[in-house]
Chain A
Amino acid sequence: MIGRTRKPAAPAPTTSTDPTAADGPDGEPAAARGLTRRGLLGLAGAGAAGVGLGIAGDRVVTAAVDGSAGNATAQYPFYGTHQAGIVTPAQDRLHFAAFDLAGDATRADLIGLLKDWTAAAAAMTAGNDVGEFGAVSGSYDAPPQDTGEAQGLPPAGLTITFGFGPTLFDTAEGADRFGISSRRPADLTALPHFPGDDLDPAFSDGDLCIQACADDPQVAVHAIRNLSRIAFGRAVIRWSQLGFGRTSSTSTSQATPRNLFGFKDGTANIKAEEPDTVSEHVWVPGGDGQSWLAGGSYLVARRIRMTIETWDRTILREQEAVFGRTKGAGAPLSGGTEFTEPDFTTAGRDGEPLIGQASHVRLAHPAQNGGTQLLRRGYNFVDGNDALGRLEAGLFFISYQRTPKQFTTVQSSLARNDAMNEYVKHVASALFVVPPGAGTGSYVGAPLFA
């Protein structure tokens, strides 16, 4: 172990890093990189982008590696063509937050906030404290710049992904607060009401969002906490969600995890190792309308409440019929193993397909949706219990796609007919456009304001 500080792996941006200049408009010091809090962890992950889960392609081997402990030393670069946290191998923990801009926030405030967030995010994803002085240094008569609870923790594969909601471009009343209405992507419109939606507006939507994923829950929470603090005066949290277990694999190096229904989830997800599929279904190309968005994506978040008490006493026959897969191995009911392609025509004794017409795997399958695919990146949640003593549990669904129409296509199919609807309810929803990654020296969203 090397007990000294180290420099962050990624160079800091040129803006907002000098605490003597570039103070926020409200006088709040701009975030800056500074002290390293995680020197004790040595250089194992330093400087190596995406070390961590190797792309071995051997599920058996990586399944053993990919245990509950996660991959504490993984470190992913913040700057790049695309934002991290999308095709990055899904980490074990999530803290997601949506923000609303202050009523009096200006365009300069918004840009300043994004610059400050960028600098802080770059520092934290590199395993460093926020600010020049970090958690325990600087003036004894000033509050610490970093909140401090991540001291001594590894980078834990932290990624911080930023998104812009429809209301950032135009308020509900049609106001163009930041002079960007004309640059609003045509696809960034409210999602339709799907059958069964029972959405809580207070837990939906938002001007901005931050997805913080890490293999250590405290690292993810530390990220949202510090970014929220940096935003005070300019933006405030509208709603937030903790997720404790990933429900999708975004890399073939990862074992398929299980959702709270006890079934494997995300077997057929888009994987990082399929660059053509990712390009076709996840990244917005330059030609999709707004050039500033090239290399970006769209993020759909849905809080899906599961009535797990009812589910748990459902007979196994029905549980497997609902999914169209076996509960153990995750094999399609038409036969094979987990990664065998489902055969939707194989029929059973009564002439009906073994994978029922209302089964989840059938209705969500690209073959039933005009080839539509989503990159899913959801997390299990249990937020205590409700007034009826039921676990407040479910899936915080997150998907990335080139256009929200992909989600609408699949969800329309599911909302209408999915046998699973008996056990789930969508209680919150949000759509964000995810700008491309920031280049070194720039900030997230810069092309939007260029």
Chain B
Amino acid sequence: MRTRPPHRALTVASVGAIAVLTLSGCVANDSSTAHEKLTVSSSATDCTVSADTAPAGSVVFTVTNTGDQVTEFYLLGSDELSIKGEVENIGPGLSRDLVVQLSAGDYFTACKPGMVGDGIDKAAFTVSESDAAAAAPTVDMAAQIDVANTNYASYVKDQVNQLVTGTTAFAAAYVAADDDAARALYAPTRAHWERVETIAESFGDLDPKLDLREADLEEGQEWTGWHAIEKDLWPAEAEAGFAAYTPEQRSYLADLLVTDTATLDSKVQDISFTLSQQTNGAIGLLDEVATGKVTGEEEFWSHTDLWDFQANIDGAAVLYAGVRDLLVEKDPDLATSLDEEFTALQDLLDAQRVGEGFQLYTDLTPADIRALADQVNALGEPLNQLTAALVL
């Protein structure tokens, strides 16, 4: 991809609690979803909630930091320990919403100015029965999240392991000047990268070293990785005057590719994921499709963008599958919507299959591209509700 900061995978990682809205893939106003709206004022000494009770259902706490330290707000369970909802990192003077779906029961509210200690001004908060209340989850959410995390970590390791194997073969063919073999291996091997692209991007320099596009180079910056080799393998697509690489250059680039891929492999061995990293990872993969693949910018010379497209979708679908059972519990309408949109996108991709691979991007008609782009948007809107729907 490019020299983009790894914010998808990491900086959004600390998602605390956000909404559990019953949105079904759109953000239109739904008058049937009424939110109980409360305010919280967090000062150095007080944590004043506008009411100490609310009916079961969607509750919004608008937390305003009236102190001079960074603050947090917690909604705790009846044991005063388990966290039912939280907002963190609220700077002085700022406000932020906590949107939670609450069932009837006893809760506690507390603020934590300065982000240290047990919180101050802890107070009882009661949620009463109401018609709007969602049924309490019947599954062990924590256990499911653990399973999803473990499974996804295994998937990432497996894909990177296959990437290592494929890269070694690709590099060997390239160095041996067997360009036909290298070209044949290029897209299928990169698919393993693209399936876990947002993970690879989280490791600082590795992404630019392995996946930088020529347009993303800085003046004087060395160009290495897949796309540098891609240009050499498809020289007919390069600009006039492009000089084929020497055998020494080929060896250098191939060795670096293998070495950097091995580094990636070692880095993913101990990897683990929070739920929000998974959901935001799926969103990030679809964004990659929307900005780089559906536009044909990623594979500028080989035009194998649809291989990458499919691989990004594969990765997003795996992430979604891992959390789907949770979603069915929390927001079945959103799950239904995502099922449909993933299927519709896959149908469009399947229509472009040729043998083991796909049509080249340059062989797609404008109508084909438009249909793919439209379906990416159709999937993207509900997919981007996933974090808010799941994370607590």
Residue contact A348 to B89, C-beta cutoff 8 Å: yes
Residue contact B219 to A192, C-beta cutoff 8 Å: yes
Q: Which residues in A have their C-beta under 8 angstroms from that of B332? A: none
Interface string of B274-299 (1 = CB under 8 A from A): 00000010010001001100110100
* Residue B353 lies at the interface, judged by CB distance under 8 Å to chain A: no
Residue contact B380 to A354, C-beta cutoff 8 Å: no
State in angstroms the CA–CA spacing of A398 and B164 once bound together: 46
Residue contact B2 to A331, C-beta cutoff 8 Å: no
Interface window among B40-48, B134-142, B246-254, B367-375: B367-375
Interface window among A12-20, A45-53, A211-219, A416-424: A416-424
In B94-142, the 8 Å CB interface with A consists of 94, 115
Q: Which residues in B have their C-beta under 8 angstroms from that of A387? A: 366, 369-370
Interface window among A99-107, A227-235, A315-323, A434-442: A315-323
State in angstroms the CA–CA spacing of A63 and B271 once bound together: 51
Q: Which residues in A have their C-beta under 8 angstroms from that of B388? A: 315
State in angstroms the CA–CA spacing of A416 and B4 once bound together: 8
* Closest A residue by C-beta to B279: A315
Q: Which residues in B have their C-beta under 8 angstroms from that of A332? A: 91
From residue A104, how far is it (CB to closest CB) to chain B in Å? 29
State in angstroms the CA–CA spacing of A415 and B42 once bound together: 38
A416-B12 contact in complex given A349-B72, A388-B369, C-beta closer than 8 Å: no
State in angstroms the CA–CA spacing of A337 and B215 once bound together: 38
- Which one of A313, A322, A388, A416 contacts B295 once the chains associate, using CB atoms below 8 Å? A388
* Residue B179 lies at the interface, judged by CB distance under 8 Å to chain A: no
Q: Which residues in B have their C-beta under 8 angstroms from that of A419? A: 4-5, 7, 11
Residue contact B216 to A195, C-beta cutoff 8 Å: yes
- Which one of A310, A350, A418 contacts B290 once the chains associate, using CB atoms below 8 Å? A310
Looking at chain A's contact residues, the main secondary structure is: loop
Residue contact B3 to A310, C-beta cutoff 8 Å: no
Residue contact B287 to A310, C-beta cutoff 8 Å: yes
Q: Which residues in A have their C-beta under 8 angstroms from that of B3? A: 195-196, 416-417, 421
* Residue A336 lies at the interface, judged by CB distance under 8 Å to chain B: yes
Q: Which residues in A have their C-beta under 8 angstroms from that of B93? A: 331, 335-337, 340
* Residue A183 lies at the interface, judged by CB distance under 8 Å to chain B: no
* Closest B residue by C-beta to A309: B377
In A26-41, the 8 Å CB interface with B consists of none
From residue B249, how far is it (CB to closest CB) to chain A in Å? 21
* Closest A residue by C-beta to B218: A195
From residue A158, how far is it (CB to closest CB) to chain B in Å? 38
In A162-208, the 8 Å CB interface with B consists of 192-198
State in angstroms the CA–CA spacing of A417 and B5 once bound together: 6
Q: Which residues in A have their C-beta under 8 angstroms from that of B65? A: 335
State in angstroms the CA–CA spacing of A347 and B388 once bound together: 24
- Which one of A307, A326, A356, A389 contacts B11 once the chains associate, using CB atoms below 8 Å? A356
* Residue B392 lies at the interface, judged by CB distance under 8 Å to chain A: no
From residue A419, how far is it (CB to closest CB) to chain B in Å? 5
Residue contact A335 to B380, C-beta cutoff 8 Å: no
- Which one of B70, B216, B366 contacts A196 once the chains associate, using CB atoms below 8 Å? B216
* Residue A4 lies at the interface, judged by CB distance under 8 Å to chain B: no
Interface string of B371-392 (1 = CB under 8 A from A): 0011001001100100110000
A358-B11 contact in complex given A326-B94, A388-B370, A389-B373, C-beta closer than 8 Å: yes
Interface string of B39-69 (1 = CB under 8 A from A): 0000000000000000000000000010010
State in angstroms the CA–CA spacing of A415 and B215 once bound together: 12
* Residue B305 lies at the interface, judged by CB distance under 8 Å to chain A: no
Q: Which residues in A have their C-beta under 8 angstroms from that of B373? A: 388-390
Interface size for B (C-beta < 8 A) is: 47
From residue B21, how far is it (CB to closest CB) to chain A in Å? 12
* Residue B92 lies at the interface, judged by CB distance under 8 Å to chain A: yes
Interface string of A282-310 (1 = CB under 8 A from B): 00000000000000000000000001011
* Residue B144 lies at the interface, judged by CB distance under 8 Å to chain A: no
* Closest B residue by C-beta to A350: B14
Interface size for A (C-beta < 8 A) is: 48
* Residue B88 lies at the interface, judged by CB distance under 8 Å to chain A: yes
Residue contact A331 to B370, C-beta cutoff 8 Å: no
Q: Which residues in A have their C-beta under 8 angstroms from that of B318? A: none
State in angstroms the CA–CA spacing of A310 and B72 once bound together: 30
Residue contact A335 to B2, C-beta cutoff 8 Å: no
From residue A409, how far is it (CB to closest CB) to chain B in Å? 14
* Residue B160 lies at the interface, judged by CB distance under 8 Å to chain A: no
* Residue A346 lies at the interface, judged by CB distance under 8 Å to chain B: yes
- Which one of A192, A318, A333, A412 contacts B7 once the chains associate, using CB atoms below 8 Å? A318
State in angstroms the CA–CA spacing of A196 and B297 once bound together: 12
- Which one of B2, B7, B68, B287 contacts A321 once the chains associate, using CB atoms below 8 Å? B7
State in angstroms the CA–CA spacing of A350 and B11 once bound together: 11
* Closest B residue by C-beta to A363: B5
* Closest B residue by C-beta to A322: B7
* Closest B residue by C-beta to A388: B373
Residue contact B4 to A348, C-beta cutoff 8 Å: no
A198-B215 contact in complex given A307-B291, A388-B295, C-beta closer than 8 Å: yes
State in angstroms the CA–CA spacing of A196 and B373 once bound together: 22
From residue A258, how far is it (CB to closest CB) to chain B in Å? 18
In B275-334, the 8 Å CB interface with A consists of 280, 283, 287, 290-291, 294-295, 297
State in angstroms the CA–CA spacing of A412 and B92 once bound together: 31
Instruction: Tell me which of B70, B94, B283, B373 has the highest count of chain A C-beta atoms within 10 A of its own C-beta.
Output: B94
List of 4 A-B pairs having minimum Cβ-Cβ separation, nearest first: A335-B91, A335-B92, A348-B89, A358-B5
What residues make up the interface of B, taking CB atoms closer than 8 Å to A?
Answer: 2-5, 7-8, 11-12, 14-15, 18, 65, 68, 70, 72, 88-89, 91-94, 115, 215-219, 221, 280, 283, 287, 290-291, 294-295, 297, 366, 369-370, 373-374, 377, 380-381, 384, 387-388
What residues make up the interface of A, taking CB atoms closer than 8 Å to B?
Answer: 192-198, 307, 309-310, 313-315, 317-318, 321-322, 326, 331-337, 340, 346-350, 352, 354, 356-358, 387-390, 412, 415-419, 421-422
18 cross-chain CB contacts under 8 A: A197-B215, A310-B291, A313-B381, A315-B388, A322-B7, A331-B93, A333-B89, A333-B91, A334-B91, A335-B94, A336-B94, A346-B91, A348-B70, A348-B89, A354-B89, A387-B366, A419-B5, A421-B3
